[in-house]
Structure 1
Amino acid sequence: MNPIAFNLFGLPIRWYGILISSGMVIGILLASYNCRIKHISYDRMMDLILIALPAAIVGARLYYVLFNLDYYSSNLGEIINIRQGGLAIHGGVLFALIAAYIYARKSNLEFIKYADAAAPSIILAQAIGRWGNFFNQEAHGGEVTKEFISRFPGFIQNGMFIEGTYYHPTFLYESVWNLAVFAVLMVIIKKTSKNGLTFFTYIGLYSVGRFIIEGLRTDSLMMGPIRVAQLVSLSGIVIWLVYLFFAFFRKKRDVV
Structure 2
Amino acid sequence: MELVINRVAFQIGNLSVKWYGVNMAFAILLATWMAINEGKKRQIIADDFIDLLLWMVPLGYVGARIYYVIFEWPYYSQNPGQIIAIWNGGIAIYGGLIAGLLVLVVFCYKRMLPTFLMLDIIAPGVMAAQVLGRWGNFVNQEAHGAATSLSFLQSLHLPDFIIQQMKIGGTYYQPTFLYESALNLLGLIIILSLRHRQHLFKQGEVAMTYVMWYAVVRFFVEGVRTDSLMLFGTIRVSQALSVVLFFGALALWIYRRKVVKPKWYLDGSGLKYPYSRD
TM over 0.5: yes
Q: 2:99 aligns with which of 95, 99, 104?
A: 95
Q: Does 1:214 align with 2:222?
A: yes
Q: Does 1:184 align with 2:193?
A: no
Out of 38-47 and 7-16, give the one that drifted further. Answer: 38-47
> The residue matched to 1:217 in structure 2 has which SS?
coil
Percent identity between the aligned chains?
A: 39
Does the CA contact (< 8 Å) of 1:65 and 1:72 recur in 2?
yes
Does the CA contact (< 8 Å) of 1:48 and 1:104 recur in 2?
no
Aligned-residue RMSD, C-alpha: 1.9
The change in CA–CA distance for 1:193 and 1:216 in structure 2 (over 3 A counts) is closer
> The residue matched to 1:7 in structure 2 has which SS?
strand
Corresponding residue of 2:162: 156
> The residue matched to 2:143 in structure 1 has which SS?
coil
CA deviations on 1:75-124 (whole Å, 9 max, x unpaired) are: 33433333353221100010111011012112211111111100001010
**Distance in 2 (alpha carbons) for counterparts of 1:45 and 1:190:** 20
Q: Does 1:171 align with 2:181?
A: no
Q: Does 1:227 align with 2:225?
A: no
Q: Which amino acid aligns with 1:171?
A: F
Shift of 1:16: 1.2
CA deviations on 1:107-166 (whole Å, 9 max, x unpaired) are: 211111111100001010011011111111110000111110113211111111011111
Q: 2:247 aligns with which of 211, 217, 238?
A: 238
**Distance in 2 (alpha carbons) for counterparts of 1:122 and 1:69:** 28
Out of 140-149 and 100-109, give the one that drifted further. Answer: 100-109
The change in CA–CA distance for 1:83 and 1:17 in structure 2 (over 3 A counts) is farther
> The residue matched to 1:172 in structure 2 has which SS?
helix
The change in CA–CA distance for 1:146 and 1:249 in structure 2 (over 3 A counts) is farther
Out of 189-198 and 141-150, give the one that drifted further. Answer: 189-198
Out of 63-72 and 26-35, give the one that drifted further. Answer: 63-72
Shift of 1:57: 0.8
Out of 112-121 and 192-201, give the one that drifted further. Answer: 192-201
The change in CA–CA distance for 1:8 and 1:100 in structure 2 (over 3 A counts) is same
Does the CA contact (< 8 Å) of 1:16 and 1:85 recur in 2?
no
**Distance in 1 (alpha carbons) for counterparts of 2:258 and 2:103:** 31
**Distance in 2 (alpha carbons) for counterparts of 1:101 and 1:187:** 27
Q: 1:195 aligns with which of 191, 199, 203?
A: 203
Shift of 1:32: 1.3
**Distance in 2 (alpha carbons) for counterparts of 1:88 and 1:47:** 24
Corresponding residue of 1:131: 135
Q: 2:108 aligns with which of 95, 99, 104?
A: 104
Shift of 1:181: 1.5
CA deviations on 1:60-83 (whole Å, 9 max, x unpaired) are: 111111112233334334333333
Does the CA contact (< 8 Å) of 1:37 and 1:190 recur in 2?
no
Corresponding residue of 1:63: 67
> TM-score normalized by structure 2?
0.85
Does the CA contact (< 8 Å) of 2:187 and 2:210 recur in 1?
yes
Structure 1 unmatched runs, 5+ = none
Does the CA contact (< 8 Å) of 1:142 and 1:218 recur in 2?
yes
> The residue matched to 2:90 in structure 1 has which SS?
coil
Corresponding residue of 1:79: 83
Q: Does 1:42 align with 2:46?
A: yes
Q: Does 1:52 align with 2:56?
A: yes
Structure 2 unmatched runs, 5+ = 262-278
Q: Does 1:9 align with 2:8?
A: no
The change in CA–CA distance for 1:118 and 1:249 in structure 2 (over 3 A counts) is same
The change in CA–CA distance for 1:38 and 1:188 in structure 2 (over 3 A counts) is farther
Q: Which amino acid aligns with 1:240?
A: A
Shift of 1:193: 5.4
**Distance in 1 (alpha carbons) for counterparts of 2:7 and 2:26:** 16
**Distance in 2 (alpha carbons) for counterparts of 1:131 and 1:200:** 25
> The residue matched to 2:112 in structure 1 has which SS?
coil
Shift of 1:33: 1.4
